A and B are shown apart, each in its own frame.
Chain A
Amino acid sequence: MTPHLTARNAFIAALVLALFLVPVYAVWIGNNFVLSLFTRIVILAIAATSLNLIMGYGGMVSFGHAAYLGTGGYAVGILAFEGVTSGFVQWPLALVVSGAIAFVIGILSLRTRGVYFIMITLAFAQMIYYVAVSLNRYGADDGLTIYRRSQFGGLINLSNKTVFYYLCLVILMGSIYLVWRIVNSRFGMVIQGSRSNDRRMRAIGFPTFRYRLACFVIAGMICGLAGVLLANHTDFISPAMMHWTRSGDLIVMVVLGGMGSLFGPTIGAVALLVLEEALPYVISVAGRVVTGHDVATAKEYWQLILGPMLLLVVLFARGGIDGLLASLRRG
């Protein structure tokens, strides 16, 4: 697997480099908003990377993946509220609970395929969402403020925004590396074989269900970790973390960036969230140029532009942005 110099690899290298330089840029322009935005982007890229493992490589289109973001976040928030702020307790517990929930959802949903699987995962995520809404002790609908970020006994200070950003970025790179190892391992071959032709997999002797379930659990745990980071980033948890539209956003990131491509979800997360920030601004500027005066409401329509853009990618670039890059000839 020697990396070749292709347009695609150059783009990915540049993207990773840019991500590592975000804090430098933030200091340079003296604006913390960029750092905060990119922390969120990196965290959601981790979640999208985990979704890509089951969806892109395993063919399991989960429409409830944000449930694990919520689970990881609530594990941190609830423990902090109850006075347990040690990250050494919070983080492993969050991963175990996320994995356990993925295990239960997986057992009950992985016997189904296609639209049924999408609907069942959505239904479970909605159930978990309403459980969170009903937690009166932990803020119910309104959510819960986290007053202390996870403590690692002086090892690392998550309240330092630059340190926290780099921690998220390292975890993103680690997740991508992990997914890369997994999909090329024997386990990964089974997962991809099962996406391609589950019937044949069983005929040649694979009990595919248990492998798909294990994959589903791994993805749930990685996404749970993203939830842990998200709660620490916003210092806040609320059911909105796992609203079904968030699950939809994750799917969009994966499809936009490139299903079954290692860096696709990261590309998709950056593209989607940067567009989300930039489009309203671009629209308001364009509105002023065209009409000669401020059209304040125009920027509300940014989704009218994003929608067709997504449609174009899905229709004309099956492999997402990464697929487009890969189809550019070498050099």
Chain B
Amino acid sequence: MAETLLHIEGVSKRFGGVTASENVSLVVPAGELHAIIGPNGAGKTTLIGQLTGEITPDAGHIRFADADITALPTYQRSTLGLARSFQITSLFLDMSVLDNVALAVQAHDGHSFRFWRPARKQESLRAPARAALARSGLASRADVPVADLSHGEHRQLEIAMALATRPRMLLLDEPMAGMGPEESARLVALLRELKKEYTILLIEHDMEAVFALADRISVLVYGRVIATGKPDEIRVNPEVRRAYLGEKDVVARHV
């Protein structure tokens, strides 16, 4: 079995009376595509927030590539190779698509206390940015202002920016949210490619995509991981069916 890349140990987070994470433990080996599913409000986004450092857990530890990152600020986790995409699109709306991605490249190309040379003319930023755009299918939209992109293109750009930081692990928070069927299919194809290169933590409601892509799946309900296992195991897990998949029988449809 491959080395462990991400190790979440007993992480808990409470917002007032709401328990968003309850003693969550999870091990993701390098190279795995690990999906997290669970109903709305289960605490999936909160978990990602704790992995990236935007939210501080009340208890527990997070280890990434053998380092305890629980107390590291967000930008340092990015430097270590953790990259996220946002469920609710979070981009630089007033800049061009290429500028957005070039900024992500720049963040990982030394410090930015460089005051003189025009950044937009630096191929060392533009070329990798264009490559990340090509990868996520946005090459032809490079010079468009981000505000003019469609929703689906925003989702693609979210991924391009994560890729441009040259990460070891991608944390994708519902990358397909709000996409049409065609766009979704293209994204599934892309994720299938990315899976070969990156360790991925994928949060997704599209069960078809999840069961097609995931090596393993964890099911989160009310902040608790009620099951972790291979897709086939999750599909037949009685507790999962009862708590989450049961009535709608979403899983059965994809057997």
Contact = CB atoms under 8 A, between A and B. Distances in A.
A151 to B, nearest CB: 31
A201 B52 CA distance: 13
A197 to B, nearest CB: 5
A192 B112 CA distance: 13
A196 interface: yes
B179 interface: no
For B90, B113, B115, the residue with the greatest tally of chain A CB atoms inside 10 Å of its CB is B115
B90 A199 contact: yes
14 contacts: A186-B117, A186-B125, A189-B112, A190-B106, A196-B92, A200-B92, A202-B74, A203-B86, A204-B103, A207-B75, A207-B76, A208-B75, A211-B112, A211-B113
Interface in B22-58: 52, 54
A159 interface: no
Interface stretch (A116-124, A177-185, A308-316): A177-185
Contacts of B79: 205
Nearest to A178: B115
B161 A185 contact: no
A185 B117 contact: yes
A164 interface: no
Interface string B104-116: 1011100011111
Given A200-B92, A204-B161, A185 B74 contact: no
Contact of A202 (B75, B114, B120): B75
A58 B114 CA distance: 16
B99 interface: yes
- Chain A facing B: main interface SS: helix
Contact of A187 (B112, B120, B122, B164): B112
Contacts of A236: none
Given A196-B92, A197-B90, A197-B92, A204 B104 contact: yes
A188 interface: yes
Contacts of A207: 73, 75-76
Contacts of A189: 99, 102-103, 106, 112, 119
Contact of A205 (B94, B108, B113, B114): B108
A181 B52 contact: no
Contact of A196 (B83, B93, B125): B93
Contacts of B207: none
A203 B112 contact: no
B118 A184 contact: yes
Interface of A: 181-182, 184-190, 192-193, 196-197, 199-208, 211, 214
A294 B95 CA distance: 55
A235 B35 CA distance: 71
A184 B75 contact: no
B119 A193 contact: no
Interface of B: 52, 54, 73-76, 78-79, 83-84, 86, 90-95, 99, 102-104, 106-108, 112-120, 122, 125, 161, 164-165
Contacts of A184: 118-120
Nearest to A208: B75
Contacts of B104: 204-205
Contact of B114 (A187, A193, A200, A203): A187
A190 B103 CA distance: 8
A211 to B, nearest CB: 6
Nearest to B162: A204
The 3 closest A-B pairs by CB, nearest first: A205-B78, A205-B107, A196-B92
Contacts of B164: 204
A121 B104 CA distance: 31
A81 B77 CA distance: 53
Nearest to A193: B103
Contacts of B91: 197, 200
Contacts of B94: 196
A192 B78 contact: no
Contacts of B117: 185-186
Contacts of A193: 92, 95, 103
Contacts of A203: 52, 54, 74, 78, 83-84, 86, 90
B165 A204 contact: yes
Contacts of A190: 103, 106, 112
B182 to A, nearest CB: 27
Contacts of A192: 92, 95
Nearest to A191: B112
Nearest to A188: B119
B103 A185 contact: no
Contact of B119 (A186, A196, A211): A186
B92 to A, nearest CB: 4
A196 B112 contact: no
A325 to B, nearest CB: 20
Nearest to B118: A184
B49 to A, nearest CB: 10
B133 to A, nearest CB: 15
A182 B115 CA distance: 5
